[in-house]
Amino acid sequence: MENIYPRLHFTAKYGWINDPNGCVYHDGIYELYFQHNPDGPQWANMTWGHASSTDLLHWEEKKPALFPDENGDMWSGSGIVNSKSLLGLPNDALIFFYTANGAFKKPFEIYEAFSIDGGETLEKLPEKILTEPSRNKRDPKVFWHEESGAYVLVLWLEGNDFGIFRSKDLTHFELASRVTLESGYECPDLFCLPVEGSEEKKWVFWAADGSYYVGDFDGYSFSQTETRRRAYEGAVNLPYAAQTFSGDPKGRILSIAWLRTSSIERTTTGAMSLVRALSLVKGPFGYQLKMALPEEVLDQKGEGKTLSSSGNSSSSFKLDEDGAIFADLHHDGAFSLVIRTENGDVTISLEKDERTLSLTGGIVTDFIGTGRMKVPEEFSVIYDRGILEISWNGQTGLSINDLPYFRKSRVTEILFSSEKEARAEIFVLN
C-alpha cells in the first residue's frame, strides 16, 4: 500500500485527517497536530493526530495526542512554547489550546493541555478558559503580543464574528473586542507580516477558506484597512483551515493548510499542503499575500534538469526514480508540460488565444484561473502523486488540485513543448 501516499504532502497512514492544529516549533522540530479519525477514513471520532519534521518537507507520523472525552471530541486549536514559565510548568513545556465540541449536547468549550516531553504526550488541564457565551465558539489561536504585553487569543464566535481575548497568565482570558469580517468563518489566525521592499509591516486576519483581511492591530482590536482578498485561486474545495507555526526561529510566518483530497482505497482521506512562508507585496491595488516555499524546502531541490523548446519543438527526459516533481516554467506563449505517469498523462497547457491555463489528466479535467487572467511568463508547478500545486506572480497566486486517479501512479517521463522560446527547469524530490 506504500505507493498510494504522496511523497511530500503529509497524510496519515490510515484514517481521516483535516484541520492542522497546534503548529509549534521547538528545539529544531516543527510539531504538526491535526484533526484525525484514527479508526477510519471518514470524518468521525475527532482526535488530535501528530507528526513532526526537521526540514518542513518530510513528516514523521507519531501516535495520536488528544482523544475524545466527556467534554466531547477534540476539535481545532493551537500551540505555543511556555517561554514565560506560566501555569506552574517549565519554560520549555509546550502549551496547547483546543476546542471540546460539547458532544453536541452542550456548548463548545476551550481548554488547555501541556506537554513536558517535547510534544510526544499531551496532558489535559481540567478547567475551561473562556466564559464567552457563544454556543459553538471554536478554533483558538494564541500568540504573545509584545507591544501590549499580553497573550492574545483569537476565536471564531458565530456567523462572521470573531473574538479577540487577552491574558497575562494563560489562565484568565478576557474579551477585548469583537470583529465582523465579510464572509469570514472558522479557524481564525492573526499575524504581522513584512511588506517586501520596505520597512513597513501590516497585520493580517485570516479565516478558514483563505480569506484574508489586511489592517492594523494594537493588541486589543483589529481594524481592517483593505478589502477582503482570497489566498487561493482556481481551487475547488481546496485548501482549508490553514494555520501558522508558532515560534519559528527565523521569525517567519509559516503556514500549512488542509487539502481536502479524496479517500484512497478506503485507507486514508485528506492531506496537508506544503508549508509556505508568508509576506505581503504592495501594488497599485493594495496589499497582496505572497506564499513562497521556505528556503529549507528550496535547498532540497538540488540539481535540476533543463528542458528547452522553441518554434513548436519539444524536449523530454525519463525518470529512473520515483519522486515528486518541481517544475519552474519560463515561457513566451503557448506551451504544454506533460507529466507522464504509469496511469496516463497529466497535461498543463496554455493555448495561444485563450490566455488561460488548463489542466487535463486522464479522466480528470479541471480549469485553473479565469478567462480574465493574464497568464504570467513565469510560474511553478509541484506534482506529487496526484496532488498538483501551481503558483505564479512571485507566488502570490496559488492553485491546488486533487487528481486521485493518479495517486498510485509513478511519474516516468516529463515532456515539454512550446510555440516560442521557453524552458522548464525540472527537479525530482524524494
DSSP letter string over 226-243?
S--EES--S-SS--EEEE
Is the separation of the CB atoms in 112 and 94 below 8 Å? no
Active site residue 328: no
254 exposure class (CB count in 10 Å sphere: 0-12, 13-18, 19+): buried
Question: Computed over its alpha carbons, how large is the radius of gyration of the chain?
Answer: 22
CA angle 103, 104, 106 (to 5 degrees): 85
Nearest to 239 by CA among 267, 216, 211: 211
Phi, psi dihedrals of residue 104, rounded to the nearest 5°:
60, 15
In 10 A of CB 61, how many CB atoms?
A: 16
User: Could you give the CA distance from residue 332 to residue 329 in angstroms, rounded to a whole number?
Assistant: 10
In 10 A of CB 218, how many CB atoms?
A: 13
Q: Position 62: which residue type?
A: K
**Strand intervals (E) in 70-173:** 74-81, 94-100, 109-115, 123-124, 138-145, 150-158, 161-167
Catalytic residue, chosen from 19, 189, 209, 402, is: 19
Query: Quick check: helix, strand or coil at residue 303?
Result: coil
In 10 A of CB 270, how many CB atoms?
A: 25
User: Could you give the CA distance from residue 296 to residue 299 in angstroms, rounded to a whole number?
Assistant: 5
Q: How far is CA 179 from CA 85, 219, 224, 240, 327, in A?
A: 31, 13, 9, 21, 41
Contacts of 250 (CB under 8 A, 6+ apart): none
**SS3 letters for 27-81?**
CCEEEEEEEEECCCCCCCCCEEEEEEECCCCCCEEEEEEECCECCECEEEEEEEE
Cell of 297: 524546502
Is the separation of the CB atoms in 392 and 379 below 8 Å? yes
Q: Report the catalytic residues.
A: 19
